Every structure is written in C-alpha cells, then in structure tokens.
Amino acid sequence: MSEATSPAPAAATAAPTSAEAPAGAPMPHVGAAPETSAVPVASASLYVGELDPSVTEAMLFELFSMMGPVSSIRVCRDAITRRSLGYAYVNFHNRADGERALETLNYT
C-alpha cells in the first residue's frame, strides 16, 4: 500500500514580533504535524462452520490464538436451549493473523 504525500507547507520567513511571542518563550514548530499513530490495522472476522456441538469458545481460543491475538470468539447457540448451532465467529485484531488462520486451519 502506498501513501500519497503532499508537498510540505512553505516555512514562514518572517520572525515573530514581541507581541506574537513573549521574550524567552519557545518558538513553535513550523511544518507538518508529526504523525502520532500509524494507519490503523484492519481486523478480521472468520466464520467457523460444521462444528461438533461439544466445541466451546475455550477450545476455539486455544486453537486460533496460535495464529495471533484473538479479540473475541462467539459460538452461536440456540436462544432457548443454549445448544450450539454448529458455527462460530473468531475475531482477530490484525487482518494478517486472520488470513494466516484461514490458510492454515481451513478444512481441518
């Protein structure tokens, strides 16, 4: 991914007057503001299907956390009986970890 850059703003050439900056006050930085954070990393949500009814969130966490940090896991259950519906969602903080999990664990 490439980022488009714009030309840096022209630096001010006039010195501040005493009304603009009190004596001994530090001069403000002129130019582009420093970047305080990187571009946010996209998260990933994986559908996990054909699960045995005995599979729990803890079992999925143990397996999927080997691929990278997991933000959440939800085994979908019947609203009344609370029995597993045979599928789950595994959410990763980082899209690359989700892609690695998909490539490594798909159809296992």
Residue 77: predicted pLDDT: 97
**Residue recorded with tokens 């999990």:** 101
And the tokens for 73?
């896991």
Measured at the CA of 39, the angle between CA 97 and CA 35, to 5 degrees, comes to: 145
- pTM (two decimals): 0.62
Closest CA to 11 of 27, 24, 26: 27
What is the C-alpha to C-alpha distance for residues 106 and 59, in angstroms, rounded to an integer? 16
What is the C-alpha to C-alpha distance for residues 9 and 46, in angstroms, rounded to an integer? 44
Residue 39: predicted pLDDT: 58
Residue 23: predicted pLDDT: 55
CB 49 within 8 A of CB 86: yes
And the tokens for 16?
């501040």
Residue 108: predicted pLDDT: 85
Q: What is the mean pLDDT of each run of 10 residues along the chain (108 residues)?
A: 41 42 47 52 91 96 96 97 97 95 92
